[in-house]
Amino acid sequence: MADELYRLTLHAASQGLRDGSFTSVELTRSLLDRIESVDGRVGAYLTVTADMALEQAADADARRASGRDGPLLGLPIALKDVLSTAGVETTCASRILEGFVPPYDATAVTRLKAAGAVTLGKTNMDEFAMGSSNEHSAYKPVRNPWDLDKVPGGSSGGSAAAVAADECLAALGSDTGGSVRQPAALCGCVGLKPTYGRISRFGLIAFASSLDQIGVLTKDVTDAALLLGALAGHDPRDSTSAEEPIPDYAGELNRDIGGLRIGVAPEYFGKGLDARVGDSVHDAINTLQSVGATQRQISLPHTEYALPTYYVIAPSEASANLARYNGVKYGLSDPQATDVDEMMARIRGRGFGSEVKRRIMIGTFALSSGYYDAYYVRAQKVRTLIKSDFETAFRDVDVIAAPVVPAPAFDLGAKLDDPVAMYQSDIMTLPASLAGLPCLSIPCGFVDGLPVGLQLIAPPFAESRLLQAARAYERTRGPLPSPTKAIDTQ
């Protein structure tokens, strides 16, 4: 067993540590060796902090030896490079932040460390979390561990691929319009985006502040519940973080879901959906019915407007948030510039990649004088309509089931020159993001040997219900008949 420790889930590894079957140092070494042997092909990591990880592991072993325990003590976890890490380079996969070493940890990272987790390094992503394929990393693309010619999804593609390729036990990501759920679906792992405000955003590098939320990518639902329990909670450093009570997510996980009302909206099963993905999702809903859930048809009539609404609001917020990258406080410099405007424009022109420039331009345009009401304010009004669709639906149902992505992972390069086609791969994850709702993706089958995900969406702060439904499905589904991952045969 010792040579395949890297394949464990968080909860299985935690049990092994508790039983004394292996140490955190052995577990961490196993993962570092795994990264060493496969990451050259996957590209999931931008930075591996091997020495720091082994020190944290030794410290966790010492704490355990002195009688301490905890659900994450000694467990190796990867962090998306959008999270600030004290003393560890944090680039957001952008050239403009090359060499940036934050002086503090994001609150989510602080909480993981306090729980005794081991941090393995920083995962690759689309630059500033803008993208659906991870091809917009300024450093290198990430490849899908199931088929190395396919994208892993984005923007948390490195985190999803690292989990799928067993290069970490679990990973943190961030989700603004689907950036946790979409790569989780395409890589075949569990991806949870909690309610907006459930996890502090302090130290999460901002993309679109009214939408950004930290999420988790794990090998199963139990692990997602464990991680959420460690991360959730109010933080005085993030005034938008919620003061809602935090249930015992892991403790409540295996509750019976008898009587759970599942809403199914035809708007998520219409044109553009690969019929085989739709079949897989319907099978999953039937599986939930077999353990006592009921199915009801609901309507979310403004679903189709989520795409234009999101692509006005998110770039508008991004154009303001990314104004801070101007060569003054951090990042690239331009000693030749003769005035400050020239310096900023040159650094930004050189430091941002094509997708980031595109979104800054869309956002700047949408917020500019003469267009503000026509684009930005109108999109905010449609956001109200999308949000009230969900409020109406949740009067009759407890969770909503839908696909995550219209089709399985596409070829690297296939959508790179067609931004609108790329944006359309987010069409089923955007509505819940705009409404700030908790949602997750869980593997529900394979199409052409590639994973497909079931999306579950719940009302605000009903993460416990969401996780219980996902766990009931996972337990009833059993292990998926799994095609072999490319990364395990090469």
Partner 1 sequence: MSIDRSQVDHAAELARLELSDDERERLRGELGQILQAFEALNTLDTEHISPTAQVIPLGNVERDDVAAGSLPQDAVLDNAPRVEDGQIRVPPVLDES
Q: Binding partner 1 by CB under 8 A: which of 171, 435, 454, 472?
A: 435
Task: Work out how close the CB of 465 gets to partner 1 at its nearest, in angstroms, rounded to a whole number.
Answer: 19
Task: Work out how close the CB of 103 gets to partner 1 at its nearest, in angstroms, rounded to a whole number.
Answer: 4
378 is a contact residue toward partner 1 (CB under 8 A): yes
- Give the x-and-dash track for 437-466 against partner 1 (CB under 8 A): -----------------------x------
201 is a contact residue toward partner 1 (CB under 8 A): no
Cα 22 to chain centroid, rounded: 30
Task: Work out how close the CB of 288 gets to partner 1 at its nearest, in angstroms, rounded to a whole number.
Answer: 27
193 is a contact residue toward partner 1 (CB under 8 A): no
Per rule CB under 8 A, count of chain residues that contact partner 1: 71
132 is a contact residue toward partner 1 (CB under 8 A): no
Angstrom distance (rounded) from CA 157 to CA 141 = 9
207 is a contact residue toward partner 1 (CB under 8 A): no
Q: Binding partner 1 by CB under 8 A: which of 180, 379, 428, 486?
A: 379
Amino acid making up residue 56: Q
89 is a contact residue toward partner 1 (CB under 8 A): no
Site for partner 1, residues 236 to 275, rule: CB under 8 A: 236, 239-240, 242
What is the dihedral angle through the alpha carbons of 401, 404, 406, 412, rounded to the nearest 10 degrees? -170
476 is a contact residue toward partner 1 (CB under 8 A): no
Q: Binding partner 1 by CB under 8 A: which of 206, 253, 362, 487?
A: 362
Task: Work out how close the CB of 99 gets to partner 1 at its nearest, in angstroms, rounded to a whole number.
Answer: 8
Tokens of 11: 């909860």
Angstrom distance (rounded) from CA 110 to CA 61 = 19
* Closest to partner 1 by CB, 220 or 317: 317
312 is a contact residue toward partner 1 (CB under 8 A): yes
* Closest to partner 1 by CB, 164 or 332: 332
Stretch that binds partner 1, among 32-40, 62-70, 119-127, 380-388 (CB under 8 A): 380-388
Task: Work out how close the CB of 470 gets to partner 1 at its nearest, in angstroms, rounded to a whole number.
Answer: 22
Tell me the catalytic residues.
80, 155, 179
110 is a contact residue toward partner 1 (CB under 8 A): no
327 is a contact residue toward partner 1 (CB under 8 A): yes
